[in-house]
Amino acid sequence: MNIITKYITLILTLISGSVPTITTHNSQIPVQTKDEGLYLSTPSRYVYKGKDPNNYLNFNNELWRIISFEPDGTIKIIKTQNLQNIPFDEANSNNWETSSLNSYLNNTYLNSIPKEYQNLIETHSWNIGSVYKTQKSGETLKSTKEEEQEITYKAKIGLVSMSEYVEAMHDTKLCGSISLIFKNESRCQNYLDKTVKEENKEAAWTISKDEYSESTVYYIGNTYFPDNMANSNFIAAMPALYLNKHITLTGDGTKQNPYQITKTD
């Protein structure tokens, strides 16, 4: 089913009042309009929202979570188990392209993944532009995305961005922008925060650098503000990646029955 057809089908289903679904990677997945779960982001992109949606996936014999189904057919996922504490950059820079964490993830970490799983990972474009906390780009999700998209970088492994973290919030009125999250931080939580806490980590890096300083990077978890931690602090790295479009999924996405990759073309 092509993108336009899926979008029209979803709209007609919403109008009819029945539970909408999408069929992707040979799996039928409910699309939510009020509860946590999978949401339509754009006519061709779907994202998971909430504190504990059914977005678990088994990859490399570990539990990961699906962030989004992308317009190009790839699936963006993030690791939830065995997170490592590591600096963002040993030279105290917030430039992802030259950071020591980027080098580690796309060399040492990537090479630790068995070839059968490496072959499922797509080389993809990552948005790594800097964002503001309180100025225009921090006031709306759209502006944050636009800031991030000003710089892109291609690689196999990366991290979640601040816009993806914001978009994973279920309550958009309370937590729908960076500035709102800072204002209501005790009430703004999603499954990414849940992962950090379950792994007993203080916080986790995002890929998004802070506009104000060359040595600060946004992080998520128990605190939400950027700090000068790139060199001296070791916090969690949650590897993220894009699975290629030629896979088939089974399962229902729950922690007890996570999605399984059962076939590749």
Whether 42 is in a domain gets the answer no
The reported pLDDT for the residue numbered 214 is: 84
Whether 175 is in a domain gets the answer yes
Whether 138 is in a domain gets the answer yes
Domain that holds residue 220: 78-242
The reported pLDDT for the residue numbered 56 is: 98
The reported pLDDT for the residue numbered 7 is: 46
The reported pLDDT for the residue numbered 134 is: 63
What pTM was estimated for this model as a whole? 0.91
Whether 117 is in a domain gets the answer yes
The reported pLDDT for the residue numbered 71 is: 95
pLDDT mean over 255-260? 97
Name the residue with higher pLDDT: 164 or 43.
Answer: 164
pLDDT mean over 251-255? 96
Whether 173 is in a domain gets the answer yes
Q: Please write the tens of the pLDDT for every residue from 70-126.
A: 999 999 999 999 999 999 999 889 999 999 999 999 999 999 999 999 999 999 999
Q: Which residue has the tokens 């992080």?
A: 219
Whether 30 is in a domain gets the answer no
Q: Please write the tens of the pLDDT for every residue from 136-159.
A: 668 899 999 999 999 999 999 999
Whether 14 is in a domain gets the answer no
Q: How many domains does the chain have?
A: 1
Q: Is 12 a residue whose pLDDT tops 50?
A: no
Q: Please write the tens of the pLDDT for every residue from 171-228.
A: 999 999 998 988 888 889 999 999 999 999 989 999 999 888 888 899 998 665 666 5
